[in-house]
């Protein structure tokens, strides 16, 4: 392979990969994500790093911020939209180290970040990834 000119995906390109990965997920799963915002950033911010006690900014591939579906109440006031943060640089570092297609890694992180907050089991999340072809 000619590696001249090959570069890591930019934030915008990574976001397009994330959007495509989300679009491949089963419709029923996506429907449960109404209003979800997917953000791509290079690294977690300092507040997240401190809160999660990260030793390195490369330690976190993604993060769900919002109110878990299992903890929601119809009586609660309106809240900020649920968000999934995908951290480009840690994911690229992981991708470079392991033999996994980047789009599959992105889908895996998306499903797991969303799935844990929906109260899904690892088996449920694996089935969702299988249905998406990842």
Tally of CB atoms within 10 A around 43: 17
Taken in order of first residue, the domains within the chain and their CATH numbers are 11-67+80-131 (3.30.2010.20)
Are 65 and 115 spatial neighbours (Cβ–Cβ below 8 Å)? no
Whether pLDDT at 68 is above 70? no
Q: What is the pTM of this model?
A: 0.86
Strands, E assignment, 1-134: 37-41, 62-65, 83-87
The residue-averaged pLDDT of 14-27 equals 95
Q: What's the rounded Cα separation, in Å, for the pair 94 and 9?
A: 14
**pLDDT for res 118:** 84
The residue-averaged pLDDT of 36-54 equals 95
Mean pLDDT of the chain: 88
Q: What's the rounded Cα separation, in Å, for the pair 66 and 89?
A: 23
The phi and psi torsions of 87 (rounded to 5 degrees) equal -100, 105
Element of type H or E holding 111: helix 102-117
Q: What's the rounded Cα separation, in Å, for the pair 100 and 91?
A: 11
């Amino acid at each position: 392979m000619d590696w001249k000119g090959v570069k890591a995906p930019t934030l915008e390109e990574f976001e397009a990969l994330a959007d495509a990965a989300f679009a491949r997920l089963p419709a029923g799963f996506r429907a449960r994500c109404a209003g979800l915002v997917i953000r791509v950033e290079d690294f977690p911010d300092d507040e997240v790093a401190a809160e999660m006690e990260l030793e390195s900014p490369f330690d976190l591939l993604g993060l769900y911020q919002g109110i878990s579906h299992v903890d929601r109440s119809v009586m609660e006031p309106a809240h900020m939209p649920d968000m999934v943060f995908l951290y480009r640089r840690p994911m690229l570092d992981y991708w470079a180290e392991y033999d996994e297609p980047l789009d599959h890694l992105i889908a895996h992180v998306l499903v797991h970040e969303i799935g844990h907050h929906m109260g899904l089991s690892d088996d449920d999340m694996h089935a969702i990834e299988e249905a998406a072809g990842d």
